[in-house]
Amino acid sequence: MLTVLLILIPLVAGLVTFGLKGSGPKMLGLIASLASLAVTVGALFQFRTDPGAAALKLDASWIPQLGAKFTLGMDGMGLMLCLLTAISFLLIFIVIYNREYERANSFYGLMLLSQAGLVGVFTAYDALLFYVFWELALIPVYFLCSLWGGEKRIPVTFKFFVYTFAGSLLMLVGLIYIYLQTPEHSFSYASFVSGAVSPEDQSWLFWLFFVAFAIKMPVFPFHTWQPDAYEQSPTPVTMVLSGIMVKMGLFGVVRWLLPVLPKGAYMWSDVAIVLSIIGIIYASCIAIVQSDIKRLIAYSSIAHIGLMSAAIFTNNEQGLQGMMVQMFNHGVNIIGLWIIVEIIQNRLKIKNLNEMGGIAQYAPGIAIFLVVISLANIGLPLTNGFIGEFLMFSGLFQYNVWFMAVAGLGIILAAVYTLNMVQKVIFGQSNALTETTTDLKANELVVLIAITGIILVLGFYPKPMLELVSSTTELVNKVY
- Distance CA(201)–CA(209), nearest Å, equals 13
> What range does the domain containing 120 cover?
1-478
CB-CB neighbours of 364 under 10 Å: 13
pTM for this predicted structure: 0.94
More confident residue, 54 or 460: 460
Question: Which residues touch 162 (CB under 8 Å, ≥6 apart)?
Answer: none
The answer to whether 319 and 300 have CB atoms below 8 angstroms apart is: no
Residue 233 has pLDDT above 80, yes or no: yes
Average pLDDT, the chain: 90
Average pLDDT over residues 430-444: 87
Render 15-83 in DSSP notation, one character per residue: HHHTT--TTHHHHHHHHHHHHHHHHHHHHHHHHHH-TT-GGG-EEEEEEGGGTEEEEE---HHHHHHHH
Identify the band that residue 87 occupies on the pLDDT scale cut at 50, 70 and 90: very high
Identify the band that residue 171 occupies on the pLDDT scale cut at 50, 70 and 90: very high
- Distance CA(369)–CA(447), nearest Å, equals 11
Residue 478 has pLDDT above 60, yes or no: no
Residue 52 has pLDDT above 80, yes or no: no
Identify the band that residue 455 occupies on the pLDDT scale cut at 50, 70 and 90: very high
- pLDDT tens digit string along 382-424? 999 899 999 999 999 999 999 999 999 998 999 999 999 999 8
pLDDT at 480: 53
- pLDDT tens digit string along 273-320? 999 999 999 999 999 999 888 889 989 988 999 999 999 999 888 899
- Distance CA(460)–CA(353), nearest Å, equals 32
Average pLDDT over residues 157-179: 90
Q: How far, CA to CA in Å, does 160 sit from each of 97, 217, 218, 225, 396? A: 27, 13, 11, 5, 31
Backbone angles phi, psi at 234, to 5 degrees: -60, 145
- Distance CA(287)–CA(303), nearest Å, equals 9
- Distance CA(465)–CA(209), nearest Å, equals 28
Length of the chain: 480
Question: Which residues touch 41 (CB under 8 Å, ≥6 apart)?
Answer: 83
- Distance CA(243)–CA(128), nearest Å, equals 25
Task: Find the distance separating the first CA and the last CA of the chain, reported in whole Å.
Answer: 33
Total tally of structural domains belonging to the chain = 1
Average pLDDT over residues 211-231: 86
- Distance CA(450)–CA(456), nearest Å, equals 10
Residue 342 has pLDDT above 90, yes or no: no
Identify the band that residue 100 occupies on the pLDDT scale cut at 50, 70 and 90: confident
Residue 92 has pLDDT above 90, yes or no: yes
Average pLDDT over residues 135-143: 89
